[in-house]
Structure 1
Amino acid sequence: MITKLIARGMLVGLLAGLLAAVFAYTTGEPRIDRAIALEEAAAAASQAAGSHAHETAEATGHSHETTQATGHSHDEGEALVSRDGQRFGLFLALGLYGVAVGGLFALAYAAVRGRVGPRSEPVLAIALASAAFTAIVLVPFLKYPANPPAVGDPETINQRTVLYLVAVAIGLLSVAAGAATHRYAARSEPWLRWLATGATVLLPVAAAWILLPEIDEVPQGFPADLLWDFRIASLGTQAVFWLGVGALFAFAARRRSPV
């Protein structure tokens, strides 16, 4: 039974990943192309400035050290993978991501079924997917939203990765604590039960939002509309993925029982 459930989850995850890839291709890729164009324009301007400095150095009898320090960086910045290859990789990566996450989602679904949440299997699938989206995507996004390729210092990538994973862990623990509070407060008044659940989720998230360090590496002059369009497209891609996981898993659920 569990094997069939995992296989169902992997198939659902694959389909949801491909749906998310279509959304990302149509909404996110144009923003990435524009960001790359801005980055290339800035690199070209820097190279032109370096060439001008080189000519000035030659005219005044200086050595080529200035050129080595400021110029000839274009070849090093060439993309190792073409844009067409990156677009294909988008579908491949989201498809594989969907397969892996779908299998884990099925395991989580099997663990909570009959113990936590709605009794109806389709409703449980949608509720679990919503909780996962909140914990894994929405909570980290509020503190560390996604940035286009042209934004971010490569030297801080490890720090940014660790902080993002910390935010994900806080989101997971907060949502799990909220679910536990909702379960243990089952005999309380409905308004008190939901108030306690919301407080259990929001308080640690708010504390983390205040205590975790800020990361602001957006260069001056970077178009604000492009930045936020990319961030919304990134958030939308994850929303489509988790909506697909919840809806498709609910559709695939065989048993129907009252909520």
Structure 2
Amino acid sequence: MVGRLLWRGMLAGLIAACVAAVFALLFAEPQIDRAIAVEAAHRMPGMAQEMEWVSRGVQKTAGLFTALAVYGAGVGGLLALAFAYAYGRIGQVGPRTLALLLAVLAFVVIVLVPAIKYPPTPPAVGQHETVKLRTAAFFAMIALSLVAAMVAAQVRRAVAVRWNPVDALVAAVACYALLASGVALLLPVVDEVPGDFGATLLWNFRLASLGAQALFWIVAGWLFGRFALPVLRERHG
């Protein structure tokens, strides 16, 4: 059964990635073009322009769809594995509800909370010398957010024996919030937005980036729930 769920999860992720790519093309890529224009306008006279290995046109079309398709298929497979583990272990939650719930939780833990500490930034924001530090800090935030979520899940399981489900859920959420906040305080601060960079442009880019991610996870969870339902019906039938 896991194998059948796996390829369905990858298919759901692939479709969701295409939907998210269209959204990004319409809303995020124009902000990137504007940010690149800002960077070009602030380039010092005589400063050599960096060599462009892949043209901007390819980056925001074929490159965008290819990258998101690979990402979507991989993440969709992981969503299917998480679903296979969680199904039947979280109360009387139906498969479609569980798939969507897992997708929303993944968005919060993997995307939203790390973005609060390290929000997405367009080109012309950030210094080249700090790329490695910023990348390492961002992925560390994602990893530690996942660890905090797993600890919170164990707390919920431990207190659910004596507490009612709502109180156990509140305890888990509070535990995750405290751990994630502590991790965010310990990780290095990255504040490299130039003072003259447009606040509206920065806000629109961040909103579009998070919107594309939210759309991906919602569509992936919704589709996978529908794709998984026939498999589970055959198993119980």
TM-score by length of 2: 0.91
Match of 1:239 among 185, 191, 214: 214
Paired residues of 1:131 and 1:175 also in contact (CA < 8 A): no
Q: Secondary structure at the match of 1:29?
A: helix
Does residue 139 (structure 1) correspond to residue 123 (structure 2)? The answer is: no
Q: Secondary structure at the match of 1:195?
A: helix
Does residue 8 (structure 1) correspond to residue 8 (structure 2)? The answer is: yes
Within-5 A mapping of 1:190-205? 190-205=165-180
User: CA offset at residue 207 of structure 1?
Assistant: 0.9
Cα distance in 2 for residues equivalent to 1:124 and 1:36? 41
Does residue 83 (structure 1) correspond to residue 82 (structure 2)? The answer is: no
Cα distance in 2 for residues equivalent to 1:239 and 1:227? 18
Please, which runs of 5 or more residues in structure 1 have no aligned partner? 48-70
Change (3 A) 1:214 1:118: farther
1:3-30 CA-to-partner distances (Å, cap 9, x unmatched) read: 1111101100100100110111111011
Change (3 A) 1:117 1:97: farther
Q: Secondary structure at the match of 1:253?
A: helix
Match of 1:164 among 129, 134, 138: 138
Match of 1:51 in 2: none
Cα distance in 1 for residues equivalent to 2:186 and 2:97? 35
Amino acid across the alignment from 2:25: Y
Amino acid across the alignment from 1:29: E
Match of 1:109 in 2: 83
Cα distance in 2 for residues equivalent to 1:189 and 1:103? 33
Does residue 94 (structure 1) correspond to residue 68 (structure 2)? The answer is: yes
Cα distance in 1 for residues equivalent to 2:197 and 2:213? 24
TM-score by length of 1: 0.84
Paired residues of 2:11 and 2:73 also in contact (CA < 8 A): yes
- Work out the percentage of aligned pairs sharing the same amino acid: 46
Amino acid across the alignment from 2:119: P
Cα distance in 2 for residues equivalent to 1:84 and 1:118? 49
Change (3 A) 1:210 1:162: same
Cα distance in 2 for residues equivalent to 1:237 and 1:4? 27
Please, which runs of 5 or more residues in structure 2 have no aligned partner? none
Match of 2:154 in 1: 180
Moved more, 23-32 or 79-88: 79-88
Cα distance in 2 for residues equivalent to 1:117 and 1:137? 26
Does residue 119 (structure 1) correspond to residue 93 (structure 2)? The answer is: yes
Structure 1 vs Structure 2 CA RMSD: 1.5
User: CA offset at residue 78 of structure 1?
Assistant: 4.0
Q: Secondary structure at the match of 2:126?
A: coil
Paired residues of 1:153 and 1:217 also in contact (CA < 8 A): yes
Moved more, 194-203 or 16-25: 194-203
Aligned length in residues: 229
User: CA offset at residue 212 of structure 1?
Assistant: 1.7
Amino acid across the alignment from 2:192: E
Match of 1:68 in 2: none
Q: Secondary structure at the match of 1:116?
A: coil
Match of 1:189 among 164, 171, 191: 164
Cα distance in 2 for residues equivalent to 1:85 and 1:247? 30
User: CA offset at residue 191 of structure 1?
Assistant: 4.2
User: CA offset at residue 132 of structure 1?
Assistant: 0.8
